[in-house]
Structure 1
């Protein structure tokens, strides 16, 4: 199976890592000036808005669908629980997934690997 393919109208991109944990979503406010792709790990800032994950704030969710908040705060959908393939997560270069795995689990975001 390719990393991204369409099967009878359903597109699989490898983000979801399995059914072992409930996959739940939530609509949230994404901070103005931000563009987030599906699979981006996000943090919740002190104003209650979501931004790309930081080492200080830690993971609070994973973007379910692309969000363009470049022209103002925008509502977007994030995963707030589930199992995800770490290779398909999008994080800033200074954020190391392996160093923060306990923070993912504390946020009900469980990681697996496509290669495991």
Structure 2
């Protein structure tokens, strides 16, 4: 399945009032992770061409920039365990707060205000 094709409704997108904006990113291999769609990302730097370098947001991280959410992974899955990978992140829009994935012991309560400041609005979705 192509990276941007979603097989049915996955409950990540929670509305279309706010525009959905995407950004090309690089998941750094140093992050050593397998990321799923809905992972909340922090920007840790920039590549030579200006592309954001990202990893999962974690409030317990030592570098301050790893504590600040800037996007939500759009791709179904990104395997950056051994090499860096290019991916796409949502940097604006409305998202189901229960579908977001955080690093460490973080929860939506840890990052909700910072997400809203970044134009990533969270909503409760009733099934």
- Normalised by the length of structure 1, the TM-score is 0.83
Distance 1:99 1:51 in 2: 17
Q: Which has the higher helix share?
A: 2
Distance 2:25 2:104 in 1: 24
SS in 2 for 1:87: helix
Partner of 1:40: 39
Q: Which 4+ stretches in 1 moved above 2 angstroms?
A: none
Structure 1 residue 13: Cα displacement: 0.6
2:109 to 94, 98, 111: 98
Superposition map of 1:58-77 within 5 A: 58-65=68-75, 66-77=77-88
Partner of 2:3: none
Tell me if the contact between 2:27 and 2:86 (Cα under 8 Å) persists in the aligned partners: yes
Alignment size in residue pairs? 108
Tell me if the contact between 2:45 and 2:54 (Cα under 8 Å) persists in the aligned partners: no
Partner of 1:6: none
Coordinate RMSD, CA, aligned: 1.9
